[in-house]
Amino acid sequence: METMKESQQNQGIDLSDLGIMDLAQAEFYTADGGFTGLKYKGEDYKHIVLRRIMPIDQPMNYISIADHDNKEIAILKDVNDLAKDQRLIVERELDNRYYSPQVLDIMSVKDKLGYVYMEMRLRNKQGNEYDKSCAVKDVSRNIRMLSSNSVIIFDVDGNRYVVPDLQQLNKQSLRKLDSYLF
């Protein structure tokens, strides 16, 4: 039986041509100042930027790695392919960049001058609950269904808020959010 790599080679596809990272030549590390660094193919990048490319429902696949000047170095196909110590560094950086607390309750929603103002009850990754107000512009692009039952909300400051399961919201919260779900 032909492996995936052999199949791709037989089809003339070289993953390095697509920018896929060669994990044998990669070492992620924490640099001075707490930045995430990368030693890759003989180069030392002391401050890299990680961005999720797609799909949004597979957050640990296809991570773009760029240098501090925003020049792409490579694409990490799957974070889970990394050794544990390397994976933890990458996951920490992604968690910091894509901080997205869970929405527990939507207390109010108001439309005003092209913005939707929301007051929400949130839970962060550490389990702490708190109230937050935010403004959302262009709701058709910034309140999106992630799956048939989960939603992500992007505010004007670039923050993300996740409703992992719409059925877990109380009826009042769901009613306030319902008209913005497309």
Binned at pLDDT 50, 70 and 90, residue 19 comes out as confident
Report if pTM > 0.85: no
Say yes or no: 107 and 80 in one domain: no
Give the separation between CA 181 and CA 123, rounded to whole angstroms.
21
Say yes or no: 69 and 148 in one domain: no
Say yes or no: 127 and 155 in one domain: yes
Last residue of a domain, one of 56, 78, 97: 97
Binned at pLDDT 50, 70 and 90, residue 17 comes out as low
Say yes or no: 91 and 14 in one domain: yes
Say yes or no: 107 and 89 in one domain: no
Say yes or no: 143 and 69 in one domain: no
Q: Which two tokens stand for residue 25?
A: 């030549």
Last residue of a domain, one of 97, 112, 143: 97
64: β partners = 51, 75
Say yes or no: 74 and 117 in one domain: no
- Please choose, from the candidates 71, 72, 76, 73, the residue with its C-alpha nearest in 3D space to the C-alpha of residue 21: 76
Model confidence pLDDT, tens digit, residues 41-86? 999 999 999 999 976 678 899 999 999 899 999 999 999 999 999 9
Say yes or no: 90 and 110 in one domain: no
Sheet holding 151-154, edge to edge: 129-137, 115-123, 102-112, 160-163, 151-154, 143-145
Per-residue DSSP letter, 101: P
Name the residue range of residue 63's domain.
4-97
Say yes or no: 62 and 83 in one domain: yes
Say yes or no: 84 and 106 in one domain: no
Say yes or no: 137 and 162 in one domain: yes
